[in-house]
Amino acid sequence: MSNRLDPGAMRCGDREFRWGERTYVMGIINVTPDSFSGDGLGHDIEAAVAQGKRFAAEGADILDVGGESTRPNAAPVSAEEELHRVVPVVERLAGEVTVPVSVDTYRYEVAQRALSAGAKMINDIWGLEHEPRLADLAAEHKVPMVLMSNQRGRPCPDIVPDVIASLKKSIALALDRGVPWQNIIVDPGVGFGKTLEQNLEIVRRLDEFRCLNRPILIGTSRKSMIGLVLDLPPEERLEGTAATVAISIARGADIVRIHDVAQMVRVCRMSDAVVRSKLS
């Protein structure tokens, strides 16, 4: 669409991501026993690898492996436990699928080991706030990183400007530590310290984040905002997720992070046909 900014292209592993041409799908692989969405695989490496292979076959463009639940009030895990959960799955997937693997972590040692095991992206839910050295790793390994805005523990009376300001700080820090401009992706952080009204407002005003001139990742899949609106448990939030994905694409999302890959790939294709005039 003519009103979209052109943030360029990005290489992730052996793949090139050309922003604006279509919506990319990030499939969620939770190697946790306590995921909010009910899909946590715990220590079952074989199940995680099988899920990753299925997601790749269903059309996922990236596989995002995480070893610590990010739901509110989740019990924290040690770095050792997170390593034990994440690294074997990353290593197996990196060797058995052609889709690039991302590691969802804010810990330096976990990201470092995951990159050594074959991960090609870092997804940081704290936008370098907890661990700025993640940017050093991304620069050293020449991999992209997702910088998310996390409002947990802080008031945000004016949510969209506050999130944009937070992301600008994260981008500046990443650039200062050597991450190339084209390797930065932003995520407004739906569900992280935000009220229902604020989450809905972020989706509704997602196009305002184009001012950052970076590709936008959004993760609404099965989240509590959908449960609160529809009064449904996580496993029954497929249609609500589809609605938020389609609206997010119309508002400028470049990547959607989702649990239900096959269904959301179809939603993306249909949305792209309308929004981007993309028919294949």
- DSSP one-letter string for the chain: -TTS----EEEETTEEEETTTS-EEEEEEE--S--TTS---TT-HHHHHHHHHHHHHHT-SEEEEE-S--STTPPP--HHHHHHHHHHHHHHHHHH-SS-EEEE-S-HHHHHHHHHTT--EEEETTTTSS-THHHHHHHHHT--EEEE---TTS--SSHHHHHHHHHHHHHHHHHHTT--GGGEEEE--TTSS--HHHHHHHHHTGGGGGGG-S-BEE--TT-HHHHHHHT--GGG-HHHHHHHHHHHHHTT-SEEEES-HHHHHHHHHHHHHHHT----
Active site residues: 223, 257
